[in-house]
Structure 1
Amino acid sequence: MVPMADGVLELASRGGRIILRPRNSKSPALARFDGVKVFDYNPKFRVDARLEADAKNVGVSSVAGELGNNYDSPGRLVFELDGEEHSLIAFNRPDPDVLWVIFKDTTGGKSTYGTGRSVSAKREGDHWVIDFNMSANFPCAYTDFATCPLAPRENYLTAAIEAGEQTPSFKITSDGIKEQ
């Protein structure tokens, strides 16, 4: 991070390229930010899962086209929701008791951000717990100027995950701040 007037300039690497992200503490978007809309907590969206091991490196596309990334995956998390079995490719995190999931469900583009959300799975004994109530938007839900991952096709759920964060009320675009 490089300090600058009213904020900082963040350097990041995406797809082998260096990108710059200005962070302005006096941004009009920040001034009108009124919090994140979320669904009411619903215990049905806290599910137990088993890990089906299939270690591999997975290429994940980005909303910014060629700026995708590769992530190490230990396999798939398999769980049941409303009597149906689903599975999601999970990705390793620095903590071996936490996995990261990028997913899209049938609420995408309606009540939740269209390209997907993320959620962590936590190991509890011999199984994993995914609490979709903790699902979060990527920065791309708030601005067109971010480089967020897209959910892998295998992680498109046929269920409606009405849990976690909803579509933000506005987004920063090249044409200014727009209502969503």
Structure 2
Amino acid sequence: MSTDPRQDWREWHEAREAAVSAPYGPLSLTGHHWLSDHPEGRIPAVPGEWRADGDEVVLTASDGDGLAVDGKPFTGTVRLAADQGPTEESRVAAGERRFVVLRRGGEWAVRDFDPGAEPRRTFRGIEATPYDERWVVPGVFRPYGEIRGVRVENADGRERDLGLAGELVFEVDGGERTLRVAVEEGGSLWAVFADATSGGDSHRFRFLKPPAPAADGTVTVDFNRALLPPCAFADHFLCPFPPPGNTLDVAVPAGERRLARD
């Protein structure tokens, strides 16, 4: 990391665009399929028969399905746990396509990633505001003491629980502001927020991921690294919308704003 925050930001932005446009990045997601929506086991356009069975998914494949499991052509039946690693390391494939098994809220689903997806082929970059030191502000994390579950709408139209661990307090535009945040593995914070630019100059909401707070709760809040959510790149992601209290009444013209246009 350089000593120039502008250069650090440029490198971060370039790395983000590279990750988004990678063969199995978010632009390659072509489908998210809840197994409960397909009780007969057949998912349109996805080869094989997929059924939830307790803590596993049972996949049955025939010769005509063209599936591979663990890198080898597969026919028969196999029991699958949720994939934990990178998409390209998922156990089930069909040519370059990768099928990721996941579980959310007790429900099983299969995600279909295809490097040849049109959004990936037509990607032109991410529009982002150049680094501005005014949008790096000191903050304080105030934990709740216990996780508070809040029901919020998700991008697929369903409501789900969002576990919030505390509040991030900071000052912008001459006033104190607060965002309700989750704590991720490793201690970093995660907020889903909207502001006065949302739906206009920026996507309808964005993510913010400050680092883990210090022992006294202090943390740097850098809006230059506000992120587009995965559902900005593919409609099949389940991004949660901002919880109550996380729509700022000021404009935040910083960070990623939207997909670049032709």
Check conservation: 1:14, 1:67, Cα contact below 8 A. Answer: no
**Whose Rg is larger?**
2
- 1:97-112 matches, within 5 Å, as 98-112=188-202
Q: Secondary structure at the match of 1:47?
A: strand
Cα distance between partner residues in 2 of 1:40 and 1:12: 36
Cα distance between partner residues in 1 of 2:151 and 2:253: 24
Structure 1 residue 52 displacement after superposition: 2.4
1:54 to 98, 122, 144: 144
Cα distance between partner residues in 1 of 2:209 and 2:151: 17
| TM-score, length basis structure 1 | 0.84
In the alignment, structure 1 residue 118 sits paired with structure 2 residue 237: no
**Structure in which a larger fraction of residues adopt helix:** 2
Structure 1 residue 125 displacement after superposition: 6.0
Look up the equivalent residue of 1:21 and give its one-letter code: R
**Identity within the alignment, %:** 26
Check conservation: 1:10, 1:22, Cα contact below 8 A. Answer: yes
1:147 to 227, 238, 243: 238
Structure 1 residue 31 displacement after superposition: 1.2
Q: Deviations over 1:9-58 (max 9, x none)?
A: 11222332222221111122211112211111111111111122323322
Check conservation: 1:6, 1:24, Cα contact below 8 A. Answer: yes
Cα distance between partner residues in 2 of 1:31 and 1:48: 40
1:90 aligned partner: 181
Check conservation: 2:97, 2:115, Cα contact below 8 A. Answer: yes
Query: After the TM superposition, which parts of structure 1 deviate over 6 Å for at least 4 consecutive aligned residues?
Result: none
1:29 aligned partner: 119
C-alpha RMSD over aligned residues: 1.9
- 1:3-42 matches, within 5 Å, as 3-42=93-132
| TM-score, length basis structure 2 | 0.59
2:162 to 70, 73, 78: 70
Unmatched 5+ stretches in structure 2: 1-89
Evaluate the alpha carbon distance shift between residue 72 and residue 80 of structure 1 in structure 2; reply closer, same or farther with a 3 A threshold. Answer: closer
Look up the equivalent residue of 1:6 and give its one-letter code: E
Cα distance between partner residues in 1 of 2:104 and 2:151: 12
Q: Secondary structure at the match of 1:13?
A: strand
Structure 1 residue 124 displacement after superposition: 4.6
Q: Deviations over 1:69-108 (max 9, x none)?
A: 33241x1111001211100011111112x11111111111
Cα distance between partner residues in 1 of 2:136 and 2:250: 14
